[in-house]
Amino acid sequence: MLTKPDRIFDREFEWRHLSAFVERGRDTVQLGVVSGRRRQGKTFLLEALASETGGFYFGATQATEAESLRLFSAALQDYAKSPVRLRFADWDEAIRHLFTVAGDTGRPIVIDEFPYLSKVSPALPSIIQREVDRAISQGGRLALLLCGSAMSVMGGLLAGSAPLRGRATLELVVKPFDYPLAAGYWKIGDPALAARVHAVVGGTPAYLRFLNGDIPESMDDFDEWVLRTVLDPGTPLFREARYLLEEEADIRDSALYHSVLAAVAAGDNTRGGIASYIGRKAADIGHHLNVLEDNCLLRREPDVFRAGRSVYRVAEPLISFYQVIMRPQWGLLESGRAAAVWTDARPRFHSQIMGPHFEELCRRFALVEPVFGGLPGEVGAGALTDHAYRTQIQVDVAVFAPAVPGEPRRVMSIGEVKWGDVMGARHVERLRRARDLLAEKGYDTRETVLACYSGAGFDPAFHPEDDVRMIGLPELYS
């Protein structure tokens, strides 16, 4: 495997797959697709790959077809050290020449931000498909990587009847750092502080650079850090949440999409609740929800106990922070009154942002194999109706074992999550009642662990029994 440069933090999984892809390309024809939301470090990773292997890297920009061809020609001329100035009449000629020049070396070819090219030159994927097929038939050597941030476009490259379907040997999605890794990247050792920072910036690597390495020194510094970074109009992070939405190619009426995200961030996260919030009919917002899902800005999570029911959640923490804290007071923030805005918004930060975000961290924690003694098959949330008491019990973290045909679904754990509440006996009793309800519904609950997840700690007077587990921030970040 290629040695990963020291300047790349983690990304072991991605580097291993890219290294194997390059190795295969020295003997055969390989096509790979690399995607991921903006700011995740895709370009940083692929530039390093090209540098380490002597490969060709071209980063596309928003430009006309003619200008893109000129830029591509210049980049290829520099790479090939050609004394003859390259000028291509069209992409058909350019791609043929690329495969001839770069294909002979067995080194990787990287075309970054490919959606910029395919948008103004729709025939480009078909041209690449033809040249890939030709290279395969001739026993060529090639490792071509197409990369892009427009998730819907990149996903469509290999879908359905798309020209490149069936040609790819690598499909790699570069994701944000998970929360424990993000804490290491930001060099934050205090779990309480790490959780709060993650609720603002998530696991996006580029945001540390956006802030020139500004990291809160302690919990006492967190409020000041918010004021001097994300709420400061002089930092790139201040407007980043707006750019994330407006940069997506499929989004036309950004105001409507902002309203949809605002509804979800505020807790109106069912289709009906979102429609009511923005003043539309539920049937009229299906397209907008699909677009936000396709662009990985929104995700739909099914209710694990009620078939056909689901809720939507904002996929990017910074967007939630923007919708709940910043957007309602945008004028005041632009005029430099961040301190007053933050003082007023701090309770909303804990209830509307930290609460739901902490629930998501707990569900990610429960996905780890050894947490409840085995490999989870599914982790989610759901509501149980208690007809005897005419109420509903919300299960924030439900962990199921892998399904076995013909056997009842085994529940490994059910849990309740509280960010700001000290947890104790009453929370456990509610979980016991939920476990009884699940047993009545036919679930296998004989070994179900009752889990209390708290960001504020646990009642010292409560002594849990063997079927109860208390999980705090130190356990989540251990």
What is the 3-state secondary structure of the chain? CCCCCCCCCCCHHHHHHHHHHHHHHCCCEEEEEEECCCCCCHHHHHHHHHHHHCCEEEECCCCCHHHHHHHHHHHHHHHHCCCCCCCCCCHHHHHHHHHHHHHCCCCEEEEECHHHHHHHCCCHHHHHHHHHHHHHHCCCCEEEEEEECCHHHHHHCCCCCCCCCCCCCEEEECCCCCHHHHHHHCCCCCHHHHHHHHHHHCCCCHHHHHCCCCCCCCHHHHHHHHHHCCCCCCCHHHCHHHHHHHCCCCCCCHHHHHHHHHHHHCCCCCHHHHHHHHCCCHHHCHHHHHHHHHCCCEEEEEECCCCCCEEEEECCHHHHHHHHHHHHHHHHHHCCCHHHHHHHHHHHHHHHHHHHHHHHHHHHHHCCHHHHCCCCCEEEEEEEEECCCCEEEEEEEEEECCCCCCCCCEEEEEEEEECCCCECHHHHHHHHHHHHHHHHCCCECCCCEEEEEECCCECCCCCCCCCEEEEEHHHHCC
- Please name which of 356, 361, 330, 354 lies closest in space to residue 267, comparing C-alpha atoms: 356
**pLDDT band with cut points at 50, 70 and 90 for residue 104:** low
- Give the residue-averaged pLDDT of 7-11: 96
> Using CA atoms, how far apart are residues 127 and 136, in angstroms rounded to an integer?
14
pLDDT band at 250 (very low <50, low <70, confident <90, very high): low
Residues 116-164 have pLDDT tens digits of 999 999 999 999 999 999 999 988 888 999 999 988 889 899 998 899 9
Mean pLDDT confidence for 387-391: 92
Rounded Cα distance between 128 and 439, Å, is 56
Q: Among residues of the chain, what percentage have pLDDT more than 90?
A: 86
For the stretch 321-369, pLDDT in tens is 999 999 999 999 999 999 999 999 999 999 999 999 999 999 999 998 8
> Tell me, what amino acid is at 355?
G
Ramachandran angles phi, psi of 260, nearest 5°: -65, -45
Higher pLDDT, 379 or 255: 379
Q: Taking 80 as the threshold, does the pLDDT of residue 442 lie above it? A: yes
What is the per-residue burial (b if ≥16 Cβ within 10 Å, else e) of 271-291? bebbbebbeeeeeebeebbeb
Residue 233: band (very low, low, confident or very high) from pLDDT cuts 50, 70, 90: very high
Average pLDDT over residues 457-466: 94
pTM, 2 dp: 0.93
User: Residue 239: its pLDDT value, please?
Assistant: 95
Instruction: State the helix-helix crossing angle for 124-137 and 91-103, rounded to 10 degrees.
Output: 40
Yes or no: say if 469 and 450 are a contact pair by the CB < 8 Å rule: yes
How high is the pLDDT of residue 231?
98
pLDDT for the residue 101:
82
Q: Tens digits of per-residue pLDDT, 190-220?
A: 999 999 999 999 999 999 999 999 999 999 9
pLDDT higher than threshold 60 for residue 249: no
Residues in the chain: 478
d(CA 244, CA 241): 5
